[in-house]
Amino acid sequence: MIPAVYRIERRIEEMPGTFTLSLLPGAREEVVSLRPGQFNMLYAFGAGEVPISSSGTADTPGLVHTIRAQGAVTRALERLREGDTLGLRGPFGNGWPVARLAGRELLVIAGGLGLAPLRPIIYAQLQGSMNVHSVRLFYGARRPAEVLYRSELEQWGRALEVVATVDHADVNWPGRVGVITAPLSTAQLDPQHTVAFICGPEIMMRFCVQLLMGKGISPANIYLSMERNMKCATGHCGHCQWGPNFICRDGPVFRYSDIRGWWQIPAL
């Protein structure tokens, strides 16, 4: 698993400390494509590797990754500019179970940077490539300045139901204020035909799972994208072992009914 060399074609500063890189393979590299929910290991030379989910679409050339600078490796990636190169291994992981959505109502529930791994799902719906009855997006962020893909959210709102809320805002913010569970709790759902994809901070996902189950949605129809310390990304090193699974190999997307036995065990 030798990293391929990719060049940064485009760099977008989403907000301070959060940026999106569009990557193109070097001339001698194979073109990699990711399914929604899969991830690549991005290698900042001399600093190390980090797992980053795809946040682009399979139809456009190159790879798109949105990254928050919060550790040594991601800070090194943050310093890279257009034209710079980085190493890339992938794709890894299973991705969102799009094939199981036929005729279903899909709830996409994202918190903070958790919108990035779900953006390919939104793109797929907008491009008409998903065989679903409907898609609704519920998105929560800390404050207005930290709303990810803000201009895109407005565009998406013209094509599908988008409910965005922030935890804190001043009175000049025209949108919703409150946590993500508030609009979810009043949403009208058909529990027999609803499937939920959730990605965000683990505490947020716990509250959302509880709320969805309270509304009658089966644990088998709730999917979560998990995050743990991944190193090899091939299920060998054991860093991301979670219960009987390796998140890099068996996840990062899990069905709640499959993982609920160890979901609440704090030491895992």
Partner 1 sequence: MEDIEELLRQHTFFRDIADAHLRTIGGCGVEVQYRPGEYIARENMPADYFFLIRRGCVAVEIQLPNSGPLCLQTLHEGDIFGWSWLFPPYQWTFDARAVDSVQAIQLDGRCLRGKCEAEPELGYELMKRFARIMTERLQATRLQLLDIYGERPGPAEGSS
Binding site residues, partner 1, CB under 8 A: 17, 47-48, 50-51, 68, 70-74, 111-112, 140-142, 146, 167-171, 173-179, 181-183, 185-186, 200-201, 203-204, 207, 227-230
Rounded Cα gap, residues 49 and 97, in angstroms: 26
**CB of 57 or CB of 227, closer to partner 1:** 227
208 marked as part of a ligand binding site: no
Q: In whole angstroms, how close is the CB of 80 to partner 1 at the nearest point?
A: 16
248 marked as part of a ligand binding site: yes
**CB of 68 or CB of 193, closer to partner 1:** 68
Q: Are 67 and 148 in contact (CB under 8 A)?
A: no
Q: In whole angstroms, how close is the CB of 72 to partner 1 at the nearest point?
A: 5
DSSP 3-state assignment of 51?
strand
Rounded Cα gap, residues 216 and 192, in angstroms: 8
**CB of 24 or CB of 47, closer to partner 1:** 47
Residue 240 is classified by DSSP as T
199 marked as part of a ligand binding site: no
Q: In whole angstroms, how close is the CB of 122 to partner 1 at the nearest point?
A: 19
- Tokens 């913010």 correspond to what residue? 173
**3-state SS record for 59-78:** CCCCEEEEEECCCHHHHHHH
Q: In whole angstroms, how close is the CB of 221 to partner 1 at the nearest point?
A: 22
237 marked as part of a ligand binding site: yes
Q: Are 179 and 200 in contact (CB under 8 A)?
A: no
Q: Tell me the residue ranges of DSSP E strands in 99-160.
A: 105-111, 134-141
Q: In whole angstroms, how close is the CB of 129 to partner 1 at the nearest point?
A: 29
* Backbone φ/ψ region at 72: left (φ over 0), alpha (ψ -120 to 50), beta: alpha
**CB of 68 or CB of 150, closer to partner 1:** 68
**CB of 176 or CB of 255, closer to partner 1:** 176
Triad 86, 84, 51: Cα angle to 5°:
30
Could you list the residues known to form a binding site, using ranges: 232, 237, 240, 248
